[in-house]
Amino acid sequence: MSSISGLVEDEISSFFESSPPLKNKEEVVAKLNQFIELNSSRQDGFNICLTGEKRRIVCVTSGGTTVPLEQRCVRYIDNFSSGNRGAASTENFVKAGYAVIFLYRRGTCQPYCRSLPDDPFLECFEFPDAKNIRVRESHSEAVKMAVMDQQAAVGEGRLLKLPFSTIYEYLQMLREMATALKDVGPCSMFYLAAAVSDFYVPWNSMTEHKIQSGSGPLDIRLAQVPKMISILRSNWAPKAFCVSFKLETDSKILIEKATKALQKYKVHAVVANELSTRKEEVVVVSSSGNVVVRRDSDKPESIVEDNLIRLIVDRHSTYIKENHT
Ligand code: PMT
């Protein structure tokens, strides 16, 4: 378990103290507690959590966080992420028997929707006459699978979807989630695929109204967002299995940066990916060495997350066995 310095702890406290409060906090906490309670008392054959009669629970974060520039936000800075990784990983975790809390950026890719066209609402349907609507034959299989798989996952209490937009919402929700999962211990996992802002405008130094363009070029000073992985590991959920991600555009520095993150934040694995090849391969960096995980290129339907989640689930099983009390 890592420990954090008083300075970092102060930065984290001041980030949360100055954040606008989460609007629907009570509703989020109630949903989380209900979901965790339901899954903590479920048995699932092969996938039973090794420490007891619990289903494993993973929190998958997905999509990029926004940084508002105005309190009544018109403009914001964004972090790139389509949400594909998080959505595809969620499907694979559900398939592996996990209960998934999917913390996602509004408007990004959703689980079970990969085979649908970009604008499913407009492209999948047709009107045989003025009173009827039906799914086009060409999309019927994809729509059927998406609706059935999503409804099964939600209906069986295996999938809870919680949306965020801003860095403030994301980090407050992550904290609520970690706190709620604390007692699940080694059976819980954090899989932090969201692209999280490193810089932000503190709420109390942000202008309330739309910034006016008439005043000429804009100078903004961005403060650094404290790395929340450190407090997640040391205080919020120290017994959870934790997988973080490292995204770079320069492949020459990727593995070095991922290795440093592994050591600094004492996470159990860092998934290193380069922007342009992220759908083909990733490298899982951990204390037991680096493993390259690729999509099966001979199978057109294969995605890198199929093999990645298999490996992560294996590592989680070993972790649970080692931390069995
Ligand atoms: O969504 P796709 O288009 O499919 O793309 C997937 C992806 C490339 C976005 C994904 O695979 C990925 O790499 N996500 C993490 C991107 C990222 O934020 O990397 P980073 O190097 O900035 O941060 C590393 C880790 O620190 C992250 O796990 C993040 O959760 C964490 N972090 C970041 C900032 C911060 N203030 N606190 C944090 O804890």
How many Å lie between the centroid of ligand 1 and the Cα of residue 143? 30
Element containing residue 76 per DSSP (H, E): strand 76-78
The answer to whether 215 and 299 are in contact (CB under 8 A) is no
Rounded CA-CA distance 188/172 in Å is 19
Beta strands in 178-268 (DSSP E): 188-192, 199-200, 223-224, 241-248
Which candidate, 65, 60, 107, places its Cα nearest to that of 88? 60
User: Do residues 109 and 84 make contact, with C-beta atoms less than 8 angstroms apart?
Assistant: yes
Distance of CA 64 to the CA centre of its chain: 9
Hey, whose CA ends up nearest to atom 8 of ligand 1?
247
In this predicted structure, what is the pLDDT of residue 7? 84
Distance, CA of 246 to CA of 192 (rounded, Å) = 10
Is the shortest distance between the CB of 233 and ligand 1 below 6 Å? Answer: no
State whether the beta carbon of 139 lies less than 6 angstroms from ligand 1.
Answer: no
pLDDT digits (tens, 9 = 90+) for 135-176: 999 999 999 999 999 999 999 999 999 999 999 999 999 999
Q: What is the pLDDT of residue 249?
A: 97
Rg (CA), the chain: 21
Lookup: tokens for 11: 């930065």
Atom of ligand 1 at shortest range from CA of 248: 21
Return the DSSP state at 234: I
Cα within 13 Å of Cα(138), Cβ side: 7
**pLDDT of 121:** 87
| Residue 46 reports pLDDT greater than 70 | no
The more confidently predicted of residues 30 and 324 is: 30
CB-CB neighbours of 18 under 10 Å: 14
Distance 198 CA to ligand 1 centre (A): 10
CA of 119 to the centre of ligand 1 (A): 26
In this prediction, residue 47 carries a pLDDT of 46
Residues in the chain: 325
pLDDT for position 22: 97
C-beta neighbour count of 5 within 10 angstroms: 9
Judged by average pLDDT, the poorest of 48-62, 142-156, 186-200, 259-273 is: 48-62
Predicted confidence at residue 180, as pLDDT, reads 95
Taking a C-beta distance cutoff of 8 angstroms, is the pair 207, 215 a contact? no
Task: Report whether 241 contacts 190 (CB < 8 A).
Answer: yes
The DSSP bridge partners found for residue 190 are 59, 242
The domains located in the chain, with CATH, are 1-43+51-212+222-239 (3.40.50.10300)
**Residues in a beta bridge with 159:** 100
Burial 254-291 (b: 16+ CB within 10 A, else e): bbebbbebbeebbbbbbbbbbeeebeebbbbbbeeeee
Q: Does the structure show a pLDDT above 90 at 232?
A: yes
